[in-house]
Structure 1
Amino acid sequence: MPGPLAGIRVLDFTAVVSGPFATMFLADQGADVLKIEPIGGDSVRRSGAPLDKAGEFSALFISSNRGKRSLSIDMKSDAGREVLAKLVSRADVVVQNFRPGAMERLGLGPEELRARDPRLIYVSISGVGDTGPYVKKRVYDPIIQGLSGFADIQSQAVTNRPQMIRTIVADKTTSIFTAQAVSSALYAREKTGQGDHIQVAMLDVMLSYLWPEGMTQYTVVGAEPAEVGPNDRPDLVFKTSDGYITAGTLSDSEWQGFCRASGDPELAADARFATQRSRTVNATARIHKMGEYIAQRSTAEWLERLDANDVPCAPILRRGEIIANEQVVARKLIAEFDQPTVGRVRQPKPAARFERSEAEIGGPAPRVGEHSRDVLLDLGYSAGDIDRMIADKVVRVASSEGDASVSIK
C-alpha cells in the first residue's frame, strides 16, 4: 500500500546531509521527492571513495537520497528559473538548506513563493538560524557540536578536554526534527487550508536534544553550579574476558540482580550502593566495582547471568557484527536492493512502522539528472525544448551508459 504521505510532492533543494536525510524520510513514507541538483550534482556524491566508475555515487549519498528523483538544472539561468517556478506551483513542500539569503537571490525565497501559494509549506534549514552574530558562518556538524555542549559532555576524564562525537549527530538529528515538523505542518494545513514557513536551525535542535539530561545542572534558574568539575564518571562499557558488554543498574531490582549475578553475597551488603540515590552519588565507584566482576567471565556467560536476573544488558557490537546480530536479523531491519551502476547495497528499513500505510524504501538513489527529461515532459516541454536546454547546459540528463557530457572531478 502507498505510504502515509502518498500524493505529497516535495521539492528538495538541499545538499550534504541535514536536508537530504530529512526529505529521504518523507520519501520512505510515500512522498514524491524531487531532488533539485546543480549541473555537477550534489557534492556528497563525491564524498569518500566512489562506488561507481562515473563517480556519481558515494555510500553517504545513497544513504541520504534513496527513493528520490533527480532534476539537474542551472538554477541561475532564465530557463532554469522558469522550470523551477512551474515545479513550485505544483509542490506541497519546498525544503532548502542554502545559507541565509541565497534562495531569495534566486527568486525562490519563502515570502515570494508563499505569496503565490499560501498552501505551500516552505522549510528553511540552517546552521545557527537567520539572526545573530554567527549568521554568516559556514556551518558543519562539528561547529554545532562545539556550540551546543555536545563536545563538552563528551569531555575526557581528568583532563576535561572536550571531544567530538564520531558521527554527524547534529546533521542527522536536525533531519529527524525537520521531517516531524513537515508532517505537523501538513496536518495543520488539512485543518486550516494554510501552509507555513518552518525554520529549523541545527543549533536550536541540538540544544533541545541535549537539554533533558545533559543540562540538568542549569535547569533551575539561580541554582547553577559555581564550577563544573571534569566528567570523571566512566561510561558503561565493561570489558569481559573475551569482549565487551554494557549493563545498567539504576533501579534497586537491577542492582540486586547484578549482585546475584556476580555470585558474591558481600556485594549486596555494600552501603555505598544500597539505594538508588547512593548508587548515583557513588556512580564512579559502582561502575568500577562492576567492571572488576565483569572482567572475570566471558561475554556469553555474563549475558546469560544478567538476563537470568533481569538486568539490562547487551553485547557491544563492532560495526561489522551488526548485520548478522540475532536481534537485527529477527526484526529484518536491513534491506537490500540494486543500486544502478553500483551493485547490491544495504540500507536500514524505515524505523517507524505503520500498520495501515506502510513506509518502505522507495528505490535506489537517483543518478545526476536521471529524471530530468521525464520531469520536463510532465511540465509540458517538448522533446525539442529539452534538447535545447541540454545543449545550452541548462539541464543535465543522465544517459543509459553514464553521462559523459559533464566530468565530475
Structure 2
Amino acid sequence: MTGPLDGVRIIDLTAMISGPLATMMLADQGAEVIKVENPAGGDFTRSAANRQGGMSALFLNNNRNKKSVALNLKEPEGREALLKLVATADVFVQNFRPGVIARMGLGEEELRKVAPGLIMVSVSGFGDSGPYAQRPVYDPLIQGLSGLATVQAGADGRRPQLVRTILPDKLTGVTAAQAITAALFARERTGEGQHIRLSMLDAIVAFLWSSDMGSQTFVHGDLPQQEAASFQDLIYETTTGYITIAVQNDREWQAIIRALERPEWAGDARFRTAELRQQNIDARLELIQSVIRTDSAEHWLARLEQERVPCAPVLTRAQMLDHPQVRANDLLLNYQHPQAGLIRQSRAPSRFSAAPDHDWQGAPTLGQHTRALLTNCGYSPEEIQDMIDSGTAGG
C-alpha cells in the first residue's frame, strides 16, 4: 500500500475496538500493521454476531488492510517470535490491563533491547494506577464514570443516558492514532522512541471538556452545576418523517420566520435577541414544531433551503447510504472479500492529495500471514510447521 505512513511497521497486540480501530486508521494511511493474535480463536470480535462467510462485520470493519500472525504468547517460542517481529518494527501497540504485558515478559525494557527506537503504546480502560486500574472495562462504564452519561441526559438532575454508540472505545482509537503519528514525527526529529500511555477515561474527559464542562472550568467561581437550557432536541416531526433545523444567529432567525411564514414572531419580545431566544428556548422550539408538523419533510426542506436556514433530513442508516451528499463524497465503497463476499465499508475520512486511492485488503483470516512473516524473520518452513503443530503458532 502507498500512503503517508508507507514504510512504517506496526505490531498490533490489541483486541476489541479501541486499539484495532486506531491501527486500522494507520493501515488505511499506508502503515504495515501486523495483528498478533492467539491461535485459539484470535480477537474476540472475530466471533461476534452479524456474520457472512465466517467473518463478522465487527471484525471486518476494524481490521482491514492488516496482516495476521497467530502466536501463543504464553509459550517461550511464541514470545521469541514476537520479539523478532518487534525488532523490525517502528510501533508496538497493546491494550491489555496495566501490568499484564510486563508479566508476559514483553514490557518496555524487553522490547527496547531488540528495538531501541520503538514507539510503545499502552491503551487502558481507567488508567495505569488508581483504584479502578485493574478493573475490567467496557464502554458503558467509561460513559458513566466520565460524566458523559449525565451530559447525554441533558442535566445533572435527570436520569443519566448512554450514548447509543460506543463513543469512548472509538474516540480512544482516534486519539491513539493521532498520538502515534505525533510520536513518529517526533522520532524523525530526535531519533528517539517513547512510550505513549492512554486511557479511555482520559480520552473522554478531555473530549467533554471543550464544550460540556463550562460549570467546572473556573476553579474558584461560584457557578451553578450544569443545567439544560431545554430538554427538547432539534429534531422536528413532519408528515413524512423527521428533519433537523439549527438556528443560531439573528440572520437565521429572520430566515426561519420567512420560511415558515410567521411574521408575527419577529415582533415577539421573547425572541428579539439571541440571548432571549436561548432563555425562551422551549417556547421557541414548540412554536417551530407546531408549524413543521403540518407539512412534509420535502416541503419544509425546500422552503428552509430557499431561505438559507441550516437544515437536513434525519435519515435511517439504510437511507443514509443513498443520500446524494454521501454519494458525492464517494464515502462508501464496495469490494470483494475472499471469505465474506461483497462487502460495503466507509473509506478513510481523510484524503491525501499525494496518496491516490488504492485497493483495500480485507480483514485477514486468523494467522493468514504467519508463515510469510516468520519466514522473513529467519524461521525455516520446518520450524514454522513445528510451531503450528505444537499450538505455538497458527496459520
Aligned to 1:7: 7
The Cα shift of 1:112 comes to 2.9
The Cα shift of 1:241 comes to 1.4
The Cα shift of 1:46 comes to 0.8
Give the distance between the partners of 2:230 and 2:102, measured in 1 at CA: 48
- 1:33-73 per-residue CA deviation (whole Å, 9 max, x = no partner) reads 00000112111111123322xx4x21011000011000011
Aligned to 2:32: 32
The Cα shift of 1:266 comes to 0.3
Structure 2 CA distance for partners of 1:91 and 1:139, relative to 1, 3 Å = same
- Provide the secondary structure at the position in 2 that maps to 1:64: coil
Give the distance between the partners of 1:360 and 1:293, measured in 2 at CA: 48
- Provide the secondary structure at the position in 2 that maps to 1:154: helix
The Cα shift of 1:114 comes to 2.9
Tell me, yes or no, if the aligned pair for 1:16 and 1:44 is still in contact at 8 Å.
yes
Aligned to 2:21: 21
Structure 2 CA distance for partners of 1:231 and 1:201, relative to 1, 3 Å = farther
Tell me, yes or no, if the aligned pair for 1:153 and 1:231 is still in contact at 8 Å.
no
RMSD: 1.7
User: Identity across aligned pairs (percent)?
Assistant: 45
Structure 2 CA distance for partners of 1:195 and 1:43, relative to 1, 3 Å = same
- 1:5-48 per-residue CA deviation (whole Å, 9 max, x = no partner) reads 00000000000000000000000000000000011211111112
Structure 2 stretches lacking a partner, 5+ long? none
> Which has the larger displacement, 132-141 or 24-33?
132-141
Question: Normalised by the size of structure 2, how large is the TM-score?
Answer: 0.96
1:168 corresponds, among 166, 169, 189, to 166
Tell me, yes or no, if the aligned pair for 1:36 and 1:73 is still in contact at 8 Å.
yes
Q: For this pair of structures, how many residues does the alignment match?
A: 394
Aligned to 1:282: 280
Give the distance between the partners of 1:316 and 1:300, measured in 2 at CA: 12
Question: Normalised by the size of structure 1, how large is the TM-score?
Answer: 0.93
Which amino acid is 1:121 matched to?
I
Aligned to 1:148: 146
Structure 2 CA distance for partners of 1:6 and 1:246, relative to 1, 3 Å = same
1:338 corresponds, among 325, 336, 339, to 336
Summarize the alignment of residues 51-90 of structure 1 with structure 2, pairs less than 5 Å apart: 51-52=52-53, 55=54, 57-90=55-88
Aligned to 2:238: 240
The Cα shift of 1:156 comes to 6.7
The Cα shift of 1:154 comes to 1.7
Tell me, yes or no, if the aligned pair for 2:156 and 2:225 is still in contact at 8 Å.
no
The Cα shift of 1:118 comes to 3.1
Give the distance between the partners of 2:338 and 2:43, measured in 1 at CA: 17
The Cα shift of 1:362 comes to 3.2
2:249 corresponds, among 251, 269, 272, to 251
> Which has the larger displacement, 225-234 or 123-132?
225-234
- Provide the secondary structure at the position in 1 that maps to 2:263: coil
Tell me, yes or no, if the aligned pair for 1:28 and 1:359 is still in contact at 8 Å.
no
Structure 2 CA distance for partners of 1:48 and 1:341, relative to 1, 3 Å = same
- 1:179-202 per-residue CA deviation (whole Å, 9 max, x = no partner) reads 001111111000000011001110
Structure 1 stretches lacking a partner, 5+ long? 398-409
The Cα shift of 1:228 comes to 4.8
Give the distance between the partners of 2:358 and 2:95, measured in 1 at CA: 25
- 1:141-174 per-residue CA deviation (whole Å, 9 max, x = no partner) reads 1010001111111227897111111100000000
- Provide the secondary structure at the position in 2 that maps to 1:354: coil
Aligned to 1:401: none
